[in-house]
Amino acid sequence: MHHHDLEHIADGVVGAAAIASTIIANPLLRAFYRKWGATEHEAHKPLPGDELIASPRMQYTRAISIKAPPAAVWPWLIQIGYERAGWYSYDVLEDMTGAGKFVDGESADRVVDALQTLKVGDQIKLHEHLSYTVRELEAPARMVLFDAREDHSSSWVFVLEDHEVHPDDPDTAAYAGGTRLLVRWRLDYEPSRSNDLMWKAFVEPINFVMERKMLLGLRERAEQR
């Protein structure tokens, strides 16, 4: 386990509290966090990788606006992962669950040149024994990840679009030349009461807290560099 400074430890405490409260309030929050940041159109429109799991039992689509062009966001995105640049999330919590082995110790605050050669067929690990395979990669537009196992299959897709600017919406003007990042996760699994409980009541809310932090961390890095 890594030595973390007080800032990272405090951040981890906040993350743990967020996870606990999200699990407790899950019935009320689920509709919100399944499309966090996304419009209704974005949440339902077809995206690359949808065909990998044609009839998912679970799906979410999240989105974030970034004041940096897709070409500037892309290097930060494709270096994510265990034994890579990290997740830009709650590093302390990743470390506690055995998923915190990153090239810089903590989530990287730099573009790691050695991690910029990602290609189709490569693995992006979540931890030592779980990984996604890169199924599609088109810079700087999309990264499609897929994992198939005996008891479940999932796709994790990142789509980078040029941010739209609407004359009747002055808030969008700040993102001219920027990126709209969409993230979609689709899951299929063997139906059972225990699986429903595990995925919907525990995995999904934990995923939301960690991924929300990841997207905010990705935005912070892309905008400041």
Q: Encode pLDDT of 165-191 as tens digits.
A: 988 888 888 999 999 999 999 999 999
- What is the pLDDT, as a whole number, of residue 55? 96
- Here the tokens at position 16 are 């743990």
pLDDT classification of 43: cutoffs 50, 70, 90: very high
- What is the pLDDT, as a whole number, of residue 9? 66
**pTM value?**
0.90
pLDDT classification of 24: cutoffs 50, 70, 90: confident
In a domain, 54, yes or no: yes
In a domain, 1, yes or no: no
Identify the residue with better confidence: 151 or 145: 145
The mean of the pLDDT values for the chain is 93
Cα–Cα dist 197/212, whole Å:
22
Tell me the mean pLDDT in the region 190-213.
Answer: 94
- What is the pLDDT, as a whole number, of residue 30? 87
Q: Residue 61's domain is classified under what CATH number?
A: 3.30.530.20
Buried b / exposed e along 165-193 (16+ C-beta atoms within 10 A): eeeeeeebeebeebbbbbbbbbbbbeeee
Strand-pair category, 179-189 with 130-138: unpaired
> Angle at the Cα of 23 (from 21 to 25), degrees rounded to 5?
65
Tell me the mean pLDDT in the region 27-47.
Answer: 93
In a domain, 186, yes or no: yes
Say whether pLDDT at 12 is over 70. Answer: no
In a domain, 18, yes or no: yes
- What is the pLDDT, as a whole number, of residue 13? 66
Domain tally, the chain: 1
Cα–Cα dist 152/189, whole Å:
4
In a domain, 151, yes or no: yes
Say whether pLDDT at 200 is over 70. Answer: yes
Say whether pLDDT at 3 is over 60. Answer: no
**With contact defined as beta carbons under 8 Å apart, do 110 and 143 qualify?**
no
Tell me the mean pLDDT in the region 101-117.
Answer: 98
Residue bearing tokens 């024994």: 129
Say whether pLDDT at 91 is over 80. Answer: yes
| CA–CA distances in Å: residue 73 to residues 59, 128, 225 | 24, 26, 10
Domain of 108 in residue numbering reads as 6-224
